[in-house]
A and B are shown apart, each in its own frame.
Chain A
């Protein structure tokens, strides 16, 4: 078997052409596609990291807002509780004062009524006693004989001193 130089050169040139054509039409587009894909992945990863960071920041901010809101709510709740206690205390104090004043007023009114009732009763008793005495007196001195006896005694006891 003879090795022909021209054949080898032809094969080398042929191989070079095939390599050049493959390099130009296949390898370069594949590399380009791979690079583009790598860039897309890289951008995606960066965007994902950015989103994760934003989400993390948002979580922190959310927690901070919630914490502040809780603090504010606790503050408002405590203030409302204090205000409610103050209002309740004031209302109780006012009610106690009004109750005492009312009781004192009622006590005075009752005492005044007792005095008035006592006076009325005294007047009624006095009138009753006078009426009873008058009835007994009329019954006692009812007869003319007794009345004459009374007048006789009065004339007898009449002194000059009584008339001057």
Chain B
């Protein structure tokens, strides 16, 4: 079983946790235990951290990326 941390701006609902578990187990080919952490600074979206790999889909991340692009332009 793999432990996966999912950070989100609001707490995930049971349906969302279930759907996410299904997706992650299919992708990782293993049982998955999700730990949901709430962080309002993320603005919106989720960030998945699994075995050192990060999939960041949060609005805060996109916003930060936009800021970096603007500053480096």
User: Given the complex of chains A and B, what is the CA–CA distance between A164 and B67 in angstroms?
Assistant: 28
A163→B53 contact, CB < 8 A: yes
Residue among A134, A137, A155, A164 with the highest chain B CB neighbour number at 10 A:
A155
B55→A162 contact, CB < 8 A: yes
| Per-position binary interface string of chain B over residues 1-34, scored 1 when its CB falls under 8 Å from any chain A CB and 0 otherwise | 0000000111011001001100110111000000
| Per-position binary interface string of chain A over residues 117-157, scored 1 when its CB falls under 8 Å from any chain B CB and 0 otherwise | 00000110111011001100110010010111011101110
Count residues of chain A with CB under 8 A from any CB of chain B. Answer: 28
Query: B47: shortest Cβ distance to chain A, in Å?
Result: 10
User: Given the complex of chains A and B, what is the CA–CA distance between A120 and B73 in angstroms?
Assistant: 12
A-B contact count (CB 8 A): 77
User: Given the complex of chains A and B, what is the CA–CA distance between A123 and B68 in angstroms?
Assistant: 10
User: Given the complex of chains A and B, what is the CA–CA distance between A110 and B31 in angstroms?
Assistant: 64
Q: Which residues of A contact B (CB under 8 A)?
A: 122-123, 125-127, 129-130, 133-134, 137-138, 141, 144, 146-148, 150-152, 154-156, 158-160, 162-164
A-B contact pairs, 6 of them (CB 8 A): A126-B67, A151-B45, A155-B16, A155-B23, A160-B26, A163-B24
